Amino acid sequence: MMAISAWYKIVKSRQVNWKKPQDVINTFGVARVDILSGDRVCINLGGNNVRIILKVEYGHGIAFVRWIGWHKDYDQLGDRIFTI
Enumerate the H helices of 1-84 as residue ranges.
4-12, 21-28, 71-76
| pLDDT of the residue at 61 | 76
State the Cα–Cα distance between residues 22 and 25, nearest whole angstrom.
5
Where are the domains positioned within the chain? Answer: 4-82
**Mean pLDDT value across residues 61-65:** 87
**How many Cα neighbours within 13 Å face the side chain of 40?**
17
Does 1 have pLDDT greater than 60? no
Task: Note the pTM of the prediction, 2 decimals.
Answer: 0.85
CB distance 54 to 27 below 8 Å: no
| DSSP letter assigned to residue 82 | G
Length of the chain measured in residues: 84
